[in-house]
Amino acid sequence: MAKVVPRPHLSLWENLYVVEIFKGLMTTWGHVQKNVTTGAFETRNYPEEAPSLPRDYRARHRLMKRPDGSPRCVACFMCSTACPARCINIVAEEADRADIEKRPATFEIDLLLCVFCGFCVEACPCDAIRMDTTIGVMVHDNRRDFIITKDKLLDWAPADYPATDTQSQKAPGGTLNAQALAEFNAGSRH
């Protein structure tokens, strides 16, 4: 049996919405006065001044590097399987090291298809892909430039990341690279 919900009884002024319209206009006028008189509008000269994005903002992707500079990706296809937009294309090949089975021959992400959900980062078993580049504004003049390849994904410097990010600092040029490279060449880590 359906439940009948009675409508509230409105007075004449409530039916005409005069009071409610006046309340809305007063709220709007209060905001306008506050912003105009105190200069509370935050403005930015956008193309010249880039917005500062927080480190945990899901921005453009990057592939993590091993201490020798090769990508950490083992071409397991977990990221492309987890991707709801199917924007990640990986072609695997045999790796040249005995302790690593596969590596990506090609790794492409189509940013026009990507929904920046972060599922690829969560699905990666070896922390090979991240979305912490703080590159949130991507502008190109043709569609081909929105497909980022393995070379573009590996084009980052450890100096751009905080010292507390130990995995980034183990990459070539990082503060922890010498120790990590010795461990990597000894075969104790991938």
Summarize pLDDT for 95-147 with one digit per residue, the tens.
988 888 999 999 999 999 999 999 999 999 999 999 999 888 888 999 999 99
Looking at residue 188, its pLDDT comes to 62
Q: Would 171 be classed as within a structural domain?
A: no
Residue 133 falls within a domain, yes or no?
A: yes
Domain-embedded: residue 135: yes
Query: DSSP 3-state assignment of 11?
Result: coil
- pLDDT of 187 higher than 80: no
What's the mean per-residue pLDDT of the chain? 90
Domains in the chain, number: 1
Q: What residue numbers bound the domain in which 151 lies?
A: 62-156
Residue 174 lies in a domain: no
Establish if 57 belongs to a structural domain.
Answer: no
Q: What is the CATH number of the domain that holds 86?
A: 3.30.70.3270
Which phi and psi (to 5°) does residue 84 adopt? -70, -20
Residue 52 is assigned to a structural domain of this protein: no
CB atoms within 10 A of CB 186: 8
Measure the CA–CA gap between 106 and 77, rounded to whole angstroms: 12
Please report which confidence band the pLDDT of residue 45 belongs to, taking 50, 70 and 90 as the band edges: confident
- Domain for residue 142, yes or no? yes
Residue 128 is predicted with a pLDDT of: 95
Question: Which percentage of the chain shows pLDDT scores above 90?
Answer: 63
Residue 22 is assigned to a structural domain of this protein: no
Helix residue ranges per DSSP H, the chain: 12-16, 18-38, 78-82, 119-123, 150-153, 166-169, 177-186
